[in-house]
Amino acid sequence: MATRKSSTSKTKAEKGLSPEYRDYLKRHAELGEDRPKLSPEEFEQSEDELLDLLALQDEDMTDDQIVRIQELEFLLIDAE
């Protein structure tokens, strides 16, 4: 007799993932076909870096930092 896979296996696999990463996975599935899929660790590092850069005052940002923000927003599929 064939058994159906239940959704509990997915839940177990996702249990250790942050809600932010799960949201990212949804955005990636919908909008990220042209973007690399980040691992949970890469996502966390990129998100932390983005938040650090966004905390800077606009007048204190260098052109390189502005470009990096754009790169991170692209990778994170930042919808905001």
Query: For residues 3-28, b (16+ Cβ closer than 10 Å) or e, as one string?
Result: eeeeeeeeeeeeeeeeeebeebbeeb
State the pLDDT at residue 49: 97
Share of the chain above pLDDT 90, in %: 70
Q: For residue 49, how many other CB atoms are within 10 A of its CB?
A: 15
The count of domains in the chain is 1
Does any domain span residue 1? no
pLDDT (0 to 100) of residue 79: 59
Instruction: Tell me if 37 sits within 8 A of 59, measured CB to CB.
Output: no
Structural domain boundaries enclosing 19: 8-76
The pLDDT of residue 60: 87
pLDDT at res. 9:
46
Q: What is the mean pLDDT of each run of 10 residues along the chain (80 residues)?
A: 47 75 96 94 97 91 95 87
The answer to whether residue 63 sits within a structural domain is yes
CB atoms within 10 A of CB 1: 2
Decide if 44 is inside a domain. Answer: yes
> What is the per-residue pLDDT for 62?
94
Does residue 3 lie within any of the structural domains? no
Q: Evaluate whether 46 touches 72 at the Cβ level (below 8 Å).
A: yes
